[in-house]
Copies of this chain bind each other. A is one copy, B any other.
Amino acid sequence: MARTPVQVTEAAPTSRGGLRREAFLKAALEVFLEQGYEAASMAEIVTRAGGSLTTLYNQFGDKQGLFLAVISERVQLLTASMFVELSAHTPVETGLTRIAEQSVTKLLEPASLELYRLILGLGAKFPDVATAFQKNGPDRVSAALAAYLADRAEAREIEIEDPVEAAYLFISLARAGLVTRALLDPEFRPCADDIKASVRTCVNLFLNGVRPRPAT
C-alpha cells in the first residue's frame, strides 16, 4: 500500500523500503531524463535499480505516480539550489552578479538542463509540474531580487519604476542567452568562465544600457 513514512527532513533513509525507494528514484530519474516520459520503460528502470517490478508498483502506484514523485523531488532540489540570499547593503553589481551566476550555473548542469527540458516538453501534459517549477524557482528568485532592487533604488544606486518587472527582466536576460542556446545546441557546453563572462555582460547591459552617456 505504498506506506510512505512521513519524514520531514529527507535524511538518508536506512530502512529496507527507504533504500529501495532511493534506488528506484535514482534509476527512474536517469531513464526519464535520457528517454523522455513516454519512451521510458518501467522494466528498464527496475533493471537499473535492482529490485523487482512488483515493489516498484507497490511504492509508486503507476508510471505517472513514479514520474511525478521523481520530478517533484528534483524540481524541489533544483529550485532550492537556484536561490540565493541577498543582504540589502550589497552593492548592486555584486548582488546581480551573484544571483545570476548562481541560477545560471545550476541550470546549466547537465542533469538540471535535461530536467528543465523535460519540464518544458511536458508542460502541456503535466501542467502542474511546470507551474510548480515556475512558482518555486524563477518566481522566488525573482521576488528576492525584486526586494533587493527596491532597496538599491532607495539607495539611489539605480532608478526603476517597477522592481518586480525589473527583477524578472534581469533574470530572463541572464538566463536566456546561455540556457536557451544550450537547450537547442547539444554541442554547446559553457564552462564556468563562459558563464562569468556572460553574466558580466548582462549585468553591464542591465545597469548601463547601450545609449551613450556623458562622462560623469
Contact = CB atoms under 8 A, between A and B. Distances in A.
A207 B210 contact: yes
Interface in A164-197: 165-166, 168-169, 172-173, 175-177, 180-181, 183-186
**How many identical chains are in the complex?**
2
A41 to B, nearest CB: 11
Given A36-B121, A118-B121, A121-B36, A209 B214 contact: no
A186 B122 CA distance: 11
A169 B131 contact: no
A202 interface: yes
Nearest to A204: B209
A127 interface: yes
A178 to B, nearest CB: 9
Interface string A140-184: 000000000000000011111000011011001101110011011
B173 A172 contact: yes
A71 interface: no
Contacts of A90: none
Given A131-B184, A172-B173, A177-B168, A211 B120 contact: no
Interface of A is mostly: helix
Contacts of A159: 210-212
A88 interface: no
B201 A169 contact: yes
Contacts of A130: 183-186
Contacts of A206: 205, 209-210
Contacts of A22: none
Contact of A202 (B169, B185, B186): B169
6 contacts: A123-B186, A159-B211, A168-B177, A169-B177, A172-B176, A172-B177
Nearest 7 CB-CB pairings of A with B: A121-B121, A38-B38, A209-B209, A172-B176, A176-B176, A208-B209, A158-B210
